[in-house]
């Protein structure tokens, strides 16, 4: 006859062991939550995606102020898909560009190093939801040992959190985006990421490098850098060299991020050089004494130099964050020297015209090119640089630098620590 086995008895030791296991697992969960990037984070997504305003057709007879908001972290208005994005303290806010209304926000109990846009997000209806990149420091930005090592990517239209990674950037870094990559600058370290935030190149001083000898000049420092056309260009200053050096890298090299692929590294004819723009085949570098732009080909050979009619001192120092102040459209790249706008041919990178007395680089507003000036905004002939009519604006400091961006018919101005939304009036 079959007899069922007696039921197992629970011993006291088993119960204690189970209790200890539960406590350990709970403690581990608390530790992960407390140390992960979710800790100290408040995320409020938009109830409905932000709708883009109607497109601009051309500069109106006047602009009127629709809204303004604090944004001390940004240096230029950030547009991500349909959203106007501001950043203050540790909070990134997505706004309706027409009204400035807060539609989503993402906040951490950490300081923001930089905020930018990057990587278009094409939706099924053909519109761009955009992406926002929020780079946080792991401690006070003025404290020794702080890294800008907490990077989060958000959807521009809703604020939804997407990818994240931990870069090796230092405070003072700037995010330099194009359609394919985003570059993080530094005085001794550069790195770039593609759309999924996978690192594609790392250059300079690499913390905890797995294999030594992969970086060609780790003792050099960097004055400025630029990104474009799957190329990263940097001005290096190296021990024992009397002049600056221009180095161009493949942003997504065949050997991966750990071993940078150098296109060329060329000694420059002097010091104080600034990278203005880089493309697949050419790089534009500004040099002082005399002030000029020299264009180099893909092999590092100079193709020609053009003297610049700019204010004395415009090239006296490296640009803030190691990034030249530029904008671009399909035909030209526009470089603001600090006193003037220099338009470069988009393909050749050679200077085409110079416009003096500008407060920042221009942007396309519909069919027109508008430049910030003391009196407001000036419409300029993009092909020749000839100034046209002026749209008057009153700013708190008429002589302060102004950075522009456009979202539909809304013109955005970064004025110091504020972003101002302007609409046709």
pLDDT in tens, 306-348: 999 999 999 999 999 999 999 999 999 999 999 999 999 999 9
pLDDT at 22: 42
Contact by Cβ (8 Å): 255, 199: no
Contact by Cβ (8 Å): 389, 377: no
Token pair recorded at residue 80: 């991500």
pLDDT at 211: 64
pTM: 0.90
pLDDT at 278: 98
What class, spelled out in words, does domain 217-321 have in CATH?
Answer: mainly beta
Contact by Cβ (8 Å): 223, 165: no
Ranges assigned E (strand) in 279-339: 283-287, 292-296, 302-307, 325-328, 332-336
DSSP letters, 103-163, are EEEEEESS-EEEEEE-S--B-TTS-B--EEEEEE-SS-TTSTT--B-EEEEEETTT--EEE
pLDDT at 37: 53
List, for residues 73-107, the tens digit of each pLDDT value. Answer: 999 999 999 999 999 999 999 999 999 999 999 99
Burial (0-12, 13-18, 19+ Cβ within 10 Å), 178: middle
- Residues with Cβ within 8 Å of 283's Cβ and at least 6 positions away in sequence, in order, are 226, 231, 233, 246, 248, 275, 277, 295, 296, 349
Contact by Cβ (8 Å): 246, 296: yes
pLDDT at 207: 85
Q: Which of 209-213, 264-268, 403-407 has the lowest mean pLDDT?
A: 209-213
- Mean pLDDT on 134-162: 96
Contact by Cβ (8 Å): 149, 138: yes
Q: How far is CA 109 from CA 7, 91, 113, 191, in A?
A: 53, 9, 13, 25
Helix (H, G, I), strand (E, B) or coil at 15: helix
* C-beta neighbour count of 336 within 10 angstroms: 25
What order do you get walking across the sheet with 274-278 strand by strand?
Answer: 274-278, 283-287, 292-296, 302-307
pLDDT at 208: 73
List, for residues 354-376, the tens digit of each pLDDT value. Answer: 999 999 999 999 999 999 999 99
Is the previous residue joined to 290 through a cis bond, with omega within 30 degrees of 0? Answer: yes
pLDDT at 403: 98
Q: Please check the confidence at residue 25 and state whether its pLDDT lies above 90.
A: no
Q: Which residue has the tokens 């932000």?
A: 50
pLDDT at 2: 46
Rounded Cα distance between 118 and 132, Å, is 6
Q: What percent of the chain has pLDDT over 70?
A: 90
List, for residues 264-311, the tens digit of each pLDDT value. Answer: 999 999 999 999 999 999 999 999 999 999 999 999 999 999 999 999
Structure confidence at residue 210 as a pLDDT band (50, 70, 90): low
List, for residues 229-251, the tens digit of each pLDDT value. Answer: 899 999 999 999 999 999 999 99
Token pair recorded at residue 385: 């640089």
pLDDT at 254: 85
Q: Please check the confidence at residue 17 and state whether its pLDDT lies above 50.
A: no
Mean pLDDT of the chain: 91
List, for residues 177-201, the tens digit of each pLDDT value. Answer: 988 999 999 999 999 999 999 999 9
Ranges assigned E (strand) in 238-383: 245-250, 262-267, 274-278, 283-287, 292-296, 302-307, 325-328, 332-336, 340-345, 351-356, 363-365, 368-373, 376-380
């Amino acid at each position: 006859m079959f007899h069922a086995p007696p039921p197992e008895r629970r011993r006291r030791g088993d119960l204690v062991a189970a209790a200890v296991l539960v406590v350990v697992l709970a403690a581990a969960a608390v530790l992960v939550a407390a140390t992960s990037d979710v800790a100290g984070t408040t995320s409020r997504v938009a109830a409905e995606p932000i709708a883009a305003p109607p497109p601009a057709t051309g500069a109106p007879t006047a602009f009127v102020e629709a809204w303004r908001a604090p944004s001390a972290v940004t240096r230029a208005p950030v547009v991500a898909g349909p959203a106007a994005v501001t950043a203050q303290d540790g909070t990134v806010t997505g706004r309706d560009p027409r009204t400035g209304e807060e539609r989503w926000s993402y906040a951490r109990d950490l300081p923001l190093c930089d905020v930018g846009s990057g990587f278009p997000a094409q939706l099924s209806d053909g519109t761009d939801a955009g992406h926002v990149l929020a780079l946080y420091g792991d401690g006070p930005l003025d404290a020794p040992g702080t890294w800008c090592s907490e990077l989060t990517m958000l959807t521009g239209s809703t604020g939804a959190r997407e990818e994240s990674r931990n870069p090796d950037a230092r405070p003072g870094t700037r995010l330099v985006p194009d359609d394919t990559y985003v570059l993080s600058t530094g005085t001794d370290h550069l790195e770039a990421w593609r759309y999924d935030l996978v690192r594609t190149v790392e250059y300079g001083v690499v913390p905890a490098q797995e294999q030594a000898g992969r970086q060609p000049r780790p003792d050099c420092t960097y004055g400025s850098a630029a990104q474009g056309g799957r190329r990263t260009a940097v001005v290096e200053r190296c021990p024992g060299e009397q002049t600056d050096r221009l180095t161009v890298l493949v942003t997504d090299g065949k050997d991966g991020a750990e071993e940078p692929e150098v296109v060329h590294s060329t000694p420059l004819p002097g010091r104080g050089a600034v990278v203005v723009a880089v493309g697949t085949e050419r790089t534009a570098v500004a040099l002082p004494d005399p002030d000029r732009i020299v264009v180099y080909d893909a092999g590092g050979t100079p193709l020609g130099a053009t003297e610049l009619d700019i204010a004395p001192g415009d090239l006296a120092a490296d640009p803030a964050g190691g990034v030249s102040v530029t904008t671009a459209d399909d035909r030209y790249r526009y470089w603001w020297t600090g006193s003037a706008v220099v338009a470069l041919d988009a393909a050749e990178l050679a200077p085409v015209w110079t416009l003096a007395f500008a407060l920042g680089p221009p942007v396309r507003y519909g069919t027109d090119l508008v430049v910030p000036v003391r009196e407001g905004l000036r419409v300029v002939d993009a092909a020749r640089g000839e100034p046209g009519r002026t749209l008057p604006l009153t700013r708190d400091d008429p002589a302060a630098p102004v950075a522009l961006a456009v979202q539909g018919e809304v013109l955005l101005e970064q004025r110091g620590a504020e972003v101002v939304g302007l609409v046709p009036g």
